[in-house]
Structure 1
Amino acid sequence: MPRLEDEAVREDHFACIYIPGLLQTRVYAEAVHRASEVHCPEQEVQHMVESRMKSRKLLDREEPPHMWCTIDEAALRRRVGCRDVMQQQLRHLLEASQRHHVTVQVPPLSKGAHAAAVDSFAVLWGPTPELDVVNVDLIRAGLFMEKQQELERYKLAFEHLSAQALDLESSAAIINRISKVPQ
């Protein structure tokens, strides 16, 4: 059975806590899961990380979906793991943003509140509009919404977030600057 991400032709991600899963390095993903799954056995953490690493392969397909990530500056500054983990993650993010099918924007903290100040989410655009779905991040799961009113609400929020974010060059510059700051 295909997963929703396998069918998506475009993914719009807003991340306010962590770097989106498809752009996470292995060590960053491990640190995220260890922090958020406090009572989880190491074997289960490794299983979740392995699943995330397999999901990343869809960005290497011959015809990958276009991935547009709007990542709140707070997520870039939030230390996950040690300093080396964060620097490696931010460098990986910069490298990923150079790919033709990956767009990364950063709404800076200086802009204040924005259209989705509460939750991280992804809009998965299917090959046809009736296959579009929104995935809202929750602890240990995602909430999938496919009603037209819900989809329009999140699509509009993402448009506003992208409009409030820095342009691509300025976004790359802030990621690069943060990666060089001792954490």
Structure 2
Amino acid sequence: MRRSVPRFRGSRFAGARPARVPGPTALSREQVAEATEINRATLYRIEMAQAKPQVRTLRALLDAYGVPERYRDDLIGILTLAGEESWLQAPSESLSDQYATYIGFEQEARAILDYQSSFVPGLLQTAAYARAAIPGGALELSAEEIETRVAARMARQAKRDSSPTIEAIIDEAALRRRVGGPEIMREQLRRLLDESEQLHVTLQVIPFEAGVHPGMQGSFVILQFAEDVHDVVYIEASVRDLFLESESDVTRYNRVFEKLRAIASSPDESRDLIARVLADT
């Protein structure tokens, strides 16, 4: 949902009055969260128009509220068009909403499979590294927007416990690229060594010696949820982030991650490699 109502120019909804949908079953937020397994904080953000739900989330809500089947295609179509129209009208706001949506998914996930080719994974970054790295992944961010994202990233880390589990695979290039300068990189590499010792974190590095590999096409994150909730693939881009939810897409990226896992050095070997890079930095 957006703060402004999309106009749907050129669509089959143009000039049409919204269909009268029967009033939803009266449920508390707690009941909806239990019925849909959607985090209550995420429900609050959707209800307050602070975030646009993904299609799978909308379908779960329609099920919970008992919305008749004959209204569902139109509602899902409006959601899709709202995303397309608002992207055309306000790309910077759309990007912010996408980032907020990702954070919501991250909080609900039981496991995070994170492959990064250029940067250290966000949940493993120091504040100084994040401050230097964020402008490299987004266009024309103000100093205030950068600080907001750094603060959000640090808040996400502060809330971490043993759930979700994190399996991170990093290309050696990300370790050797001096983001922010030598001292910031030394601090970041020491942080990675500390994180690699955590029971809920598995960290592997793909060494240069591995040669060409499937991850060279770009970074991605697989968010795994409870068994009855579909996984999501998140791809961060400089202009528009992507959320892939189809079974075929998720399966394809899981296969790529499995290949990267097999190519990467073992966790112990990866720690040794990080230590060598630290000594050279």
TM-score over 0.5 for the pair: yes
Work out whether residues 58 and 64 of structure 1, in 8 Å CA contact, stay in contact via their aligned partners in 2: no
Deviates more, 1:49-58 or 1:118-127: 49-58
Q: Indicate whether 1:31 and 2:104 are aligned.
A: no
For 1:160 and 1:35, locate their aligned partners in 2 and report how far apart those are by CA, in whole Å: 27
Q: Indicate whether 1:98 and 2:206 are aligned.
A: no
Give RMSD over aligned pairs: 1.4
Deviates more, 1:91-100 or 1:135-144: 135-144
Q: Deviations over 1:26-52 (max 9, x none)?
A: 000000123444632211110111111
Question: Computing the radius of gyration over CA atoms, which structure comes out larger, 1 or 2?
Answer: 2
Matches within 5 A, 1:18-57: 18-37=119-138, 39-57=140-158
Identity of aligned residues (%): 34
Q: Indicate whether 1:177 and 2:250 are aligned.
A: no
Secondary structure (helix, strand or coil) at the match of 2:217 reads coil
Deviates more, 1:50-59 or 1:19-28: 50-59
Work out whether residues 119 and 137 of structure 1, in 8 Å CA contact, stay in contact via their aligned partners in 2: no
Calculate the TM-score normalised by the size of structure 1: 0.93
Which has the larger helix fraction? Answer: 2
Work out whether residues 123 and 153 of structure 2, in 8 Å CA contact, stay in contact via their aligned partners in 1: yes
Deviates more, 1:124-133 or 1:45-54: 124-133
Matched residue type, 2:133 = V
Matched residue type, 2:149 = M
For 1:120 and 1:58, locate their aligned partners in 2 and report how far apart those are by CA, in whole Å: 24
Matched residue type, 1:4 = F
Work out whether residues 110 and 164 of structure 2, in 8 Å CA contact, stay in contact via their aligned partners in 1: yes
Work out whether residues 70 and 162 of structure 1, in 8 Å CA contact, stay in contact via their aligned partners in 2: yes
For 1:108 and 1:180, locate their aligned partners in 2 and report how far apart those are by CA, in whole Å: 16
Dislocated runs of 4+, deviation >4 Å = none
Greater RCO, 1 or 2 (C-alpha within 8 Å, sep 6+): 1
Matches within 5 A, 1:93-172: 93-128=192-227, 130-139=229-238, 141-172=240-271
Calculate the TM-score normalised by the size of structure 2: 0.61
Work out whether residues 113 and 167 of structure 2, in 8 Å CA contact, stay in contact via their aligned partners in 1: yes
Which has the larger strand fraction? Answer: 1
Unmatched segments (≥5 aa) in structure 1:
none
Aligned residues: 180
Matches within 5 A, 1:11-22: 11-22=112-123
